[in-house]
Amino acid sequence: MKYIALFFITTLIFFAIDMLWLGVIAKNFYREKLSFIFTGEVNWQAAFIFYILYIVGILYFVIIPGFTHHDWKTVLFNGAFLGFLCYATYDLTNMATIKQWPLIVVVVDIIWGTVLTGSVAVLSYFAASRFLHF
């Protein structure tokens, strides 16, 4: 039951931060830079599957192992590194395969993935330590 609660806490934190980025801070950035391929419609089914898988990955590879070591700095670093790897994989693959994929999107998105995943991991770790007593 603790792991289900941990999943929901992590999901709430992830969505709060990512929606602030996508809906407010970088709202026009991706539309402007990727307008040559952006359809204007979000495939919510694909987005939902991505978010579920990515959050499970953060839990499995970062947060849950972090409880073994009881070291928030390791959780922060491992979360940031996972974000860096995942977002770099996505953006560099796009740059390699999609004509005119902008370098600025690669750089901004990799930085964002690093910050997002590290932040979500450490905030979820702190919340679970306090409220779920991991």
> What's the mean pLDDT when you consider all of the chain?
96
Closest CA to 110 of 94, 122, 125: 94
Is the separation of the CB atoms in 92 and 49 below 8 Å? no
Residue-wise pLDDT for 27-85, tens only, equals 899 999 999 998 878 899 999 999 999 999 999 999 999 999 899 999 999 999 999 99
**The predicted structure's pLDDT at residue 42:** 87
**The predicted structure's pLDDT at residue 102:** 98
Distances (CA, A) of 75 to 8, 13, 26: 18, 15, 26
**Distance (Å, rounded) from C-alpha 24 to C-alpha 27?**
5
Q: Determine the structural domain holding residue 95 and report its residue range.
A: 2-132
Q: Quick one: how far is CA 43 from the chain centroid? A: 18
Confidence (pTM): 0.95
Domain count, the chain: 1
Tokens encoding 129: 């330590």
**Distance (Å, rounded) from C-alpha 77 to C-alpha 122?**
9
